Structure 1
Amino acid sequence: MKTSGLGELEAVLAVARHRSFRAAANELDVSTSALSHAVAALEARIGVRLFNRTTRSVALSEAGAQFVDSVTPALSTIREAIEQAGSFRDTPSGTLRINTSLGAAKQVMPVFVEFLRRYPEMKLDIVTEGRLVDIVVDGFDAGIRLADTVPQDMVAVPFGDRQRFTVVGSPAYFARNRKPRVPMDLRAHRCIRARMPSGTIYQWEFERRGESVRIDSEGAITLDDADLILRAARAGLGLAYLTEWNVAEDLAQGTLVRVLEGWLPPLDGLCLYYPSRRHAPAGLRALVETIREFAEVERKASKAGKADERARQPRA
């Protein structure tokens, strides 16, 4: 009796995740027609329709939903067995799928570059989105997010310095407006509002000496991308609430000015994370090692920089 191949099962699960043949084909790096043929062949073999298709949507049928629920854990076990066998290779190979935010991906890009230089047989599939996802359900090998958003049942590998938000405005803006001294002063300012992936407007958070304040900022423009917010701040449209990493170059060049420094304590930095219940494939272990090496280099550089700063301070 003929049995369906792993490729057909992977095709069905990818379409189920994305609710789209085109998006699933992009993930699997195959043509849409090839993916459609694979799914159709499996449906013909088992004699049921797994998806209800229209010109505008793709949804699992009742039989398809039961099939996916049954196949997903079994296929996960098979993938893990293949990964474990592959870990005996001298050189890691294959593809790692990583979910992260756009801002985090920009910060970690030097690590990705070094990783691919070291391991030319590896490929990285980086998916950036603002919303948090279940990396296991959505078929990712790992995620990269701020440490306080990482699920507790994951293995977390810290990367980079602690993060901190900051409030900035352009010199032209402050030529027309007095600088805020406390968070409540922001109510008299034009602020560049940030929309979260959920659609809610992000409230600016402040803290000092145990006092916490949240400000629902008001302004003439609302954006959902950090780079666009940065451009709006440079143009003098209002104050922006961004991470220091986003604005470091502007602060150094004087194109933006920082305010309310004492009200913005540091946060935990980025982490790469992956399921603790699964065997980590060789490629993922190699990426973890690369991240740890980068983190150690950054730690030593930061320590040396602080020592130089103390040495430059005048003695009493």
Structure 2
Amino acid sequence: MRATDLSELAAFDAVARHRNFRRAGAERGVTASAISHAVSNLEARVGIRLLNRTTRSVSLTEAGAMLLSQLSPAFGEIGSALDALNQYRDTPFGKVRINAPNSIARFVFGPVMGPLLANNPNLELEIVATDRLVDIVKEGFDAGIRLGESLRDGMTAVKIKPRLRLAVVGSPAYFARYPVPRTPTDLKEHVCIRNIHPSGRAYPWEFSRAGNIIEFEPTGPLSLDDQELMVEAAMSGVALAYVWEDRARSHLANGELVECLASWCAPEDWLYVYYPTRKHISAGLRAVVEALRV
């Protein structure tokens, strides 16, 4: 097989998985037009249309679906063969793409990025931090970071550091106007920031103690999906915020913020790095997992 044939097949494989030329190009390190040209050349050479294209979507034809089903295992074997070469290198080689929630990415990767790259100079680490719920397979990631409660079936999950905890915080100026809440039900008398997902859907503040679980739905005038903004709003004295304790730790230490309801805020479920169970695991991904695991 010619090198150009393999390149065209790889371009088709990327488009078929992503259903998107731009994302396929980003994965392959080329432009979307280059990917489109490669797939068109492949279709012309085999004499069969493999993709249905519109201005808004890309889908597989029946022939394209058959080809993808044969290609995926083959590219997995090629990846395994190339990765086996790592035994002849001092350190893992290649790119590892990881998706992580923006609100926790700094706590997960901040302590390990420096040592990980220093110990693996041939490793290229790409971290995409977003609180949007991402399908790591469709979007071409090697792995993702999530709380255990949100993991899907068909994924291998490895417990990682740190174990996070949410906290309710407010400024001294706020508590000069309002009494400190003693129980979650007291929050009904307070101004509280509504936590929302990037989709705009709000989620409750959750509390538990001695088996008693309480969900509180804030109804305040401020809704935010960014925890940095929540911390800033809390420091300004306009409302209470429900944020990761580590996000507010420095402000709690210097007195800019005060924590309340601490006995009701238990540690969250463990964080996990996860990846498809059937996916070939590269030496680079193994190095990342080992750096993150508990």
| Short-chain TM bin | 0.7 to 0.9
Deviation at 1:88, TM superposition (A): 4.2
* Cα distance in 1, alignment partners of residues 225 and 87 from structure 2: 41
Deviation at 1:65, TM superposition (A): 4.3
Matches within 5 A, 1:85-96: 85-96=85-96
Q: In the alignment, is residue 268 of structure 1 matched against residue 269 of structure 2?
A: yes
Moved more, 272-281 or 227-236: 272-281
Matches within 5 A, 1:22-171: 22-54=22-54, 56-63=55-62, 64-107=64-107, 108-151=109-152, 154-171=155-172
Q: Which amino acid aligns with 2:291?
A: T
* Cα distance in 2, alignment partners of residues 214 and 283 from structure 1: 41
Q: Secondary structure at the match of 1:228?
A: helix
Deviation at 1:67, TM superposition (A): 3.8
Kept in 2: contact 1:153–1:276 (CA 8 A): yes
* Cα distance in 1, alignment partners of residues 119 and 73 from structure 2: 32
* Cα distance in 1, alignment partners of residues 181 and 16 from structure 2: 50
Q: Which amino acid aligns with 2:26?
A: N
Query: How much is the aligned-residue C-alpha RMSD, in angstroms?
Result: 2.6
Kept in 2: contact 1:195–1:202 (CA 8 A): yes
Q: Secondary structure at the match of 2:144?
A: strand
Q: Which amino acid aligns with 1:185?
A: D
* Cα distance in 2, alignment partners of residues 93 and 181 from structure 1: 53
* Cα distance in 2, alignment partners of residues 199 and 76 from structure 1: 38
Deviation at 1:204, TM superposition (A): 0.8
Q: Secondary structure at the match of 2:10?
A: helix
Question: Alpha carbons of 1:253 and 1:58: their partners in 2 closer, same or farther (altered >3 Å)?
Answer: same
Moved more, 148-157 or 197-206: 148-157
Kept in 2: contact 1:80–1:278 (CA 8 A): no
Per-residue CA shift, 1:172-198, capped at 9, x if unaligned?
Answer: 222222222211121222211121245
Q: In the alignment, is residue 209 of structure 1 matched against residue 215 of structure 2?
A: no
Question: Alpha carbons of 1:234 and 1:286: their partners in 2 closer, same or farther (altered >3 Å)?
Answer: same
Q: Secondary structure at the match of 2:267?
A: coil
Deviation at 1:85, TM superposition (A): 4.1
**Length-normalised TM-score, structure 1:** 0.81
Deviation at 1:130, TM superposition (A): 2.2
* Cα distance in 1, alignment partners of residues 110 and 130 from structure 2: 16
Kept in 1: contact 2:76–2:279 (CA 8 A): no
Q: Report what 1:183 is aligned to.
A: 184
Deviation at 1:4, TM superposition (A): 6.3
Matches within 5 A, 1:150-299: 150-151=151-152, 154-292=155-293
Question: Alpha carbons of 1:223 and 1:7: their partners in 2 closer, same or farther (altered >3 Å)?
Answer: farther
Kept in 2: contact 1:98–1:127 (CA 8 A): yes
Kept in 2: contact 1:131–1:198 (CA 8 A): yes
* Cα distance in 2, alignment partners of residues 183 and 131 from structure 1: 28
Question: Alpha carbons of 1:231 and 1:5: their partners in 2 closer, same or farther (altered >3 Å)?
Answer: farther
Q: Which amino acid aligns with 2:274?
A: Y
Q: Which amino acid aligns with 1:82?
A: L
Deviation at 1:164, TM superposition (A): 0.9
Question: Alpha carbons of 1:19 and 1:270: their partners in 2 closer, same or farther (altered >3 Å)?
Answer: same
Question: Alpha carbons of 1:205 and 1:43: their partners in 2 closer, same or farther (altered >3 Å)?
Answer: same
Moved more, 193-202 or 258-267: 193-202
Per-residue CA shift, 1:248-268, capped at 9, x if unaligned?
Answer: 111112111111111111123
Kept in 2: contact 1:157–1:272 (CA 8 A): yes
Q: Which amino acid aligns with 1:161?
A: P
Deviation at 1:12, TM superposition (A): 2.4
Q: Which amino acid aligns with 2:24?
A: A
Matches within 5 A, 1:9-28: 9-28=9-28
Kept in 2: contact 1:104–1:145 (CA 8 A): no
Per-residue CA shift, 1:69-123, capped at 9, x if unaligned?
Answer: 4433433333233323444433211111112111332111331222112212111
Q: Secondary structure at the match of 1:110?
A: coil
